[in-house]
Structures are given as structure tokens and as C-alpha cells.
Chain A
Amino acid sequence: MSIVLGLFNYWVVIALMMIGFYLVIATSNLIKKIIGLNIFQTSVFILYISIGKVKGGAAPILEEGTELYANPLPHVLILTAIVVGVATTALGLALIVRIKEAYGSINENEIREKGGTT
């Protein structure tokens, strides 16, 4: 039972990741794909931060009297990853705008019919 409790958090995160991943590959709307990508990535972030959680630990800001802290390293990594994620999103959305101007649609299937390459 303790295994389930200890791992439950991870399973929820995994479910989130899979929802995001599914959205990316199954939808034909380009904006939804980007959103799915974001959900996928954000859940990976949750996974990383959960790794760093220490029961009873405080936020990693040094204070008098506090002994136990959460692990700061995953926080740093995820800060970087969030930024990378938004950079990718911005580029993807800009591409979508241009694709719409060129093909008149942001639906994969319609674009394919007009000669695009998806």
C-alpha cells in the first residue's frame, strides 16, 4: 500500500503527460497541437519538481533556524525548461500565423489538401 501512496503523485503526473502527448499527435488543429505540447512539457516539469520535494523541507531560501530544505537543483533546471518551452511556443505560434496567411487554414488536413506538407 505504501508503494501506491508513495508513487501516486508520479502516476498522476504521468497521466497528465500522456494527455498532453495525445493532444499533440492526435489533433489536427495546429494551435491545439502547441497547447498539447505545452501540457506535455509542463507535466514533465511537475515530475522534476516532485523529485526535489523533501517532506518537511522548506523552500530553498536560507533562513535562521530552518534545517531541512527542498532540493534547489530541480528548481533551477525547471526554470530553464519553462523558458525554453515558452520560446518554442512563441516560435510555433509565429509559424502558425504565417501558415494561415499562406494556406488560409490552421487545420492540418485542410493544409494538406491545399498542397502543404503536413
Chain B
Amino acid sequence: MLVATALASIFIRDLFAVIMVFGIYSLVCAGFFLNLNAPDVALTEAAIGAGIAPILMLGTLALTRHSWDPEPHAKKSKHNPLLPLIVVTITGAALVYASFDMPHYGDVTAPANNHVAPRYLQDSATEIDIPNVVTSVLASYRGFDTLGEVFVIFTAGIGVLALLGFLSDGSGRKYWQFADTASLRRHTVLHVIAKILIPLILLYAFYVQFHGDYSPGGGFQAGVIFATAFILYTMVSGLQAVYKIIRPEFIYLMMVIGVMLYAGTGLVAMFMGGNYLDYNALDHHDPVHGQHLGILLVELGVGICVAAVMMSVFFNFAGRGIHVPEDNKEGGQ
């Protein structure tokens, strides 16, 4: 199934269809992850690969096309497909070559499953006391990686803002002066359903955020789901309506707060005597409680930042199609 959808992406020329096929691909991947006993990853992949990514791609498509037909002037690729085929074959061959010495699929005696990992499974109960081991590893043992990851998201938010946001526009027009996006106001059914769904989505987001210690979930998934609620509202009611509820400046502030909450927790731990991000130091009497506190704060930081960035990215894309960009740039020579 996966291979079929992937192959389809190559051969289909209509971009809209390709994006949809990609969405299906991502969803099937998520299902596959579930099968591989990785529910956290499945949740994230579903939300991001089948949710955010296609939305952004469709947004890009909408901004870069004037009609919905497949590209009428699409020229056949000038490069000979031979060179890419050769490169791909060599790479594929290298990978297959590599596979011969790999431990077999599902092997319980493989080095990967027997060196570093067992301690997480065995000792996290005493050291951190949270059932979801993925959260323990993500937020504590390898918490610094996750800090890096939040900063990656933050960077992407900055980048999209720099490229598409009102800050980069020379005209200085404020966002609330934009004409309303073509909203789906006339479709009452969609409106009603959206209004029912949105509070549920938000509730689910909070659940995933705070229950992430006990079940699959945590900051990233929660943040994305939270953003989805707002994206849904925007699609149904238009950009201006959303801006009345939540202003872009607030979102940007939240991006910073999320990131600083995470980093700040680490700093507090440092000033209380431990290394950076050593949650044991947060509570000298009961280190395990310190771990709980640290993980809670840190995941919250992640959730806030991710939600804010996802929303800001979407709004930047959505807002771009409305006003006429003033180009102060020189073209090619």
C-alpha cells in the first residue's frame, strides 16, 4: 500500500492529487507505526504528516496557481531521468548491501535493544516514575535533544514569518486591514459541525498534553492538535474572524514563551545546583517529584511553542494570498 501510494506520487501530474496521495501515504505510515508498537510516533505522524503537511502544501498550491487544472504549460523535465535513476539505484543498492548484516526484524537480541534501551525500561520506574517511557526519555534522559527540537520548530516559525509574514512586507499594512479570505460562510452544515468539533478538539489537545505521561501523547502532539482547532475555525469562518479571537502578536509571544519555558526550566535546575536540565535538582527532598515537575513544565513549553508556531505558520500562508506584495527586489540579470 505504501509503495503504491509512493509510486503514484511520481507519476501523477496533477499536484492536488499528488498532495492528497501524500496525505494517504502519511496516514498509512502512521498506521504502520501503530503496528510496530509505536503509538506516540503514530500519533505525531498522523497529526503532522497527514494533517499539517498537506494543509501547508495545499496552501502553497492555492497561492501558486490560478486555476485548479493540472499545469497546462508544465514542460517535460529537461533533465534526462537517466542520471537520477542511476543515483537512486546506486543508493538503493548500497542500502540493500547494508541490510544483509542487519539484525533481523523484531529480533529481541539485537544490540539496539540490549545496550542503552533496557535501562530506560527498567530504571525509569524508580528514577522518574512515569509509565510512558517515551516521555521519560524524550523529556528527561534526552531532554536536551528535545530542547533542540523545540528550537527547530521555533526557527521554522521565524523563517516563515520572515518569508511570508506581514513583517516582511514593505507596505506596512496591518493584518487586520486585509480583505476577508474567501470563507465558507454559506455552507451552514460545515459551520455547525465545525462549531461542535472545535471545543472537542481543544479538549482533546489538553488531554493529550497533560495525560502524556500515562498514555501516548505529550507536548508535540498536543500542540499540533490545539493548532488544528484554530485552523479549522479559520477555514470555516475566515482569517479576520480568527484575528478577533487571537491576535498574531499574541501568537508570536507564545512562541517565545513556550521556548523560554523549556529552556528556563533547565536554567532553574542549573541554579538550584544541578547540571542544565537536571530535574532532580528542582526538588531537593524528592528528586522524583522534581522529575515530574520538570517534565510537566518542559512538555508544557513544547506544547505552547508548537501550537503557536503551527498557528503562526498557517496564518502566514493564509494571509499571503490576500494582499498584493510590493516587490522591491531586482530580478535576475
A and B touch in the complex (CB under 8 A): yes
B215 touches A61 (CB 8 A): yes
Interface 0/1 of B119-148, CB less than 8 Å to A: 011001100000111101110001001101
Interface 0/1 of A34-76, CB less than 8 Å to B: 1110110011011001111111111111110000111111111
B77 touches A26 (CB 8 A): yes
Interface centre among B36, B92, B112, B146 (most CB of A within 10 A): B36
> Which chain A residues border B132 with CB–CB below 8 Å?
60-62
A87 touches B152 (CB 8 A): yes
Nearest residue (CB) in A for B59 is A93
A31 touches B216 (CB 8 A): no
- Contact among B71, B112, B142 with A76 in the assembled complex (CB-CB below 8 Å): B142
A110 touches B60 (CB 8 A): no
Chain A interface residue count, Cβ-Cβ cutoff 8 angstroms:
91
B163 touches A59 (CB 8 A): no
Interface 0/1 of B311-333, CB less than 8 Å to A: 00100110010000101010111
- Contact among B60, B214, B216 with A96 in the assembled complex (CB-CB below 8 Å): B60
A74 touches B112 (CB 8 A): yes
B163 touches A18 (CB 8 A): no
B-side interface mostly: helix
> Which chain B residues border A15 with CB–CB below 8 Å?
3, 92
Taking CB atoms and an 8 Å cut-off, the chain A residues in 11-29 that contact chain B are 11-12, 14-23, 25-29
Distance (whole angstroms) from the CB of A107 to the closest CB of chain B: 6
A109 touches B112 (CB 8 A): no
Distance (whole angstroms) from the CB of B145 to the closest CB of chain A: 6
A79 touches B138 (CB 8 A): yes
Known contacts A69-B37, A100-B64; 17 further A-B pairs (Cβ under 8 A)? A18-B95, A25-B88, A29-B71, A31-B61, A32-B15, A35-B22, A38-B22, A38-B49, A52-B112, A55-B106, A60-B134, A79-B138, A86-B48, A86-B156, A97-B64, A109-B78, A114-B331
